[in-house]
Structure 1
Amino acid sequence: MGTVQRFEKLAIWTLARKLNHRTYLLIRTTSLGSDFVLRNQIDKSAGSVMDNIAEGFEREGNKEFIYFLSVAKGSCGEWRSQLMRAYDRDHVNENEFQELDESALTLIKKIKTLINYLNRSRFKGSKFK
């Protein structure tokens, strides 16, 4: 975390933001927009991924950041489950489903990689200097 000064510069936050935007486009351009409960759930979980990355980063401590990254990773898994429900309800076609699911799996993998790095790092966070 020593070189990154703002959460917006984190590659995982950028990917999470793209996932959030793609979710918004799905809601606006497909029948998912009229499935109110699922629409709200998938929208909230997409936002939760990027928001938890930002919140953890701003806490300025490794342990807290790892915790919030774990929450973000879980929210991304929740988003994938909701995407599968959207696919099962014919809101999303197979190509969209495959592309979006791959994007989410890539994000999950990158979050896990950062968690592993932080767990091995001796850097404790700027609030512990």
Structure 2
Amino acid sequence: MTARHNYGKLTIWKDDISIVKEAYSTTKKFPKSEVYALSSQMQRCSISIPSNITEVTSKGTDKHFLQYLETTLGSASEWENQLIILFEIRYITEETFKHL
């Protein structure tokens, strides 16, 4: 099967890889008690964003393409929710919150 797009050339994919890097960099600073909670959740939802973009580029129909984009949007919303929680419980500063 031929991919519809080369995901490695997509700006959105590159931006999403940056999100993953930021997630790991940020979660390294969390308390050890969060390793299996917020840290893990934030890492997993950040990884799913570029992973879904990668997967969507191989879908053969517009219906599948749109379905995976909706899944990607859901992961991005989850990422945003994690950031709100992290800011509210003061694991990240307002500056970091706005940056991410």
Which category of TM-score, normalised to the shorter sequence, fits these structures? Answer: 0.7 to 0.9
Matched residue count: 96
Measure the CA separation in 1 of the matches of 2:68 and 2:13: 12
Measure the CA separation in 1 of the matches of 2:45 and 2:81: 10
**Distance change (3 Å), C-alpha of 1:11 and 1:94:** same
TM alignment of 1:104-123, pairs within 5 A: none
Larger of the two Rg values belongs to structure: 1
Residue in 1 that maps onto 2:64: 64
TM-score, with length taken from structure 1: 0.68
Measure the CA separation in 2 of the matches of 1:12 and 1:32: 31
Q: C-alpha deviations, 1:31-82, integer Å up to 9, x for none?
A: 2664130111111100111101111111232221111111011100001101
**Structure 1 unmatched ranges of 5 or more:** 101-129
Answer 1 or 2: which has greater helix percent: 1
**Structure 2 unmatched ranges of 5 or more:** none
TM alignment of 1:4-83, pairs within 5 A: 5-28=5-28, 30-31=29-30, 34-36=33-35, 37-83=37-83
**Distance change (3 Å), C-alpha of 1:83 and 1:41:** same
**Distance change (3 Å), C-alpha of 1:32 and 1:93:** farther
CA contact (8 A) 2:45 2:79 kept: yes
TM-score, with length taken from structure 2: 0.87
